[in-house]
């Protein structure tokens, strides 16, 4: 992986914001479709009829599409966007609808409601989903959008099951040493008691710009 894998895109910020909003509304509807598919008890004929309609909608969307994944893009105005990201991709219905808030340097939090699509043990959040959400928020905590960080090592302790429903995730930088940043985080259910605790080592890759005054880097940092 290199910095060149991040795509410089000429689309203006206004146009990116406009398009993001339009497709994000579709993303919400597709999340609803996923939930409905899991929980529906309508009869088989109705399922087959719905399937035909969904297949027709997929064909309409595929009439014009990217050759591969959405990637991470940025424009000359400093706006960056990663619409396909598995956790925060605005166009990705597999991503839970969470919004990460950066409280200040070295900390971040997110609230999200996890429904039937994120189930592992009965009525509980899947352990891999907890790890997925923690990884993203911890990576963003380490980065603070001021530097590129990648997950090196992630260690999780599942203290008890997390019921599906409202979940809060919080992360903070515990220490830093050169290109290595240690982040601590937890995930908690509605009672606020941590159900999963995490420690992660995030690494600024050797190929990434570390000087925040670097022009290439500055474009990302503002995103």
Binding residues for ligand PKZ, rule: CB under 6 A, are 1, 6, 72, 80, 135-136, 139-140, 143, 145, 148-153, 178-180, 201, 203, 205-206, 220, 223
Tell me whether residue 96 or residue 139 sits nearer to ligand PKZ (CB atom).
139
Tell me whether residue 3 or residue 54 sits nearer to ligand PKZ (CB atom).
3
DSSP state of 6: S
CA–CA separation, 212 vs 153, rounded Å? Answer: 25
Q: What is the dihedral of CA 31, 33, 34, 38, to 10 degrees?
A: 140
SS3 115: coil
Tell me whether residue 102 or residue 163 sits nearer to ligand PKZ (CB atom).
102
SS3 102: strand
Minimum CB separation of residue 202 from ligand PKZ in Å reads: 8
Minimum CB separation of residue 74 from ligand PKZ in Å reads: 7
Minimum CB separation of residue 194 from ligand PKZ in Å reads: 20
Tell me whether residue 78 or residue 121 sits nearer to ligand PKZ (CB atom).
78
Minimum CB separation of residue 98 from ligand PKZ in Å reads: 13
Minimum CB separation of residue 123 from ligand PKZ in Å reads: 28
DSSP state of 214: -
Tell me whether residue 50 or residue 126 sits nearer to ligand PKZ (CB atom).
126
Tell me whether residue 189 or residue 200 sits nearer to ligand PKZ (CB atom).
200
Minimum CB separation of residue 204 from ligand PKZ in Å reads: 7
SS3 27: helix
SS3 2: coil
- Give the contacts of 205 (CB within 8 A, at least 6 positions apart): 1, 148, 150, 179
3-state helix, strand, coil in the chain (%, to 5): 35, 30, 35
DSSP state of 86: T
In sequence order, the β-bridge partners of residue 186 are 170, 197
């Amino acid at each position: 992986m290199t910095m060149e894998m991040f795509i410089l895109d000429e689309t203006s910020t206004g146009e990116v914001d406009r398009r993001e909003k339009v497709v994000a509304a579709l993303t919400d509807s597709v999340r609803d479709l996923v939930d409905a598919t899991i929980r529906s008890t309508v009869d088989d004929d109705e399922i087959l009829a719905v399937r035909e309609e969904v297949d027709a909608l997929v064909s309409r969307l595929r009439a014009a599409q990217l050759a591969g994944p959405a990637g991470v893009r940025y424009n000359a105005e400093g706006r960056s966007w990663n619409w396909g990201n598995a956790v925060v991709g605005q166009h990705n219905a597999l991503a839970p609808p969470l919004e990460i808030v950066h409280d200040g340097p070295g900390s971040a939090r997110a609230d999200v409601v996890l429904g039937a699509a994120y189930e592992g043990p009965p009525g509980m959040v899947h352990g891999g989903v907890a790890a997925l959400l923690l990884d993203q928020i911890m990576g963003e905590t380490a980065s603070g959008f001021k530097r590129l960080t990648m997950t090196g090592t992630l260690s999780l302790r599942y203290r008890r099951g997390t019921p599906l429903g409202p979940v809060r995730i919080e992360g903070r930088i515990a220490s830093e040493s050169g290109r290595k940043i240690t982040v601590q985080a937890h995930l908690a259910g509605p009672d606020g008691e941590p159900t999963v605790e995490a420690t992660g080592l995030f690494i600024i890759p050797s190929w990434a710009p570390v000087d925040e005054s670097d022009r290439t880097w500055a474009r990302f940092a503002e995103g």
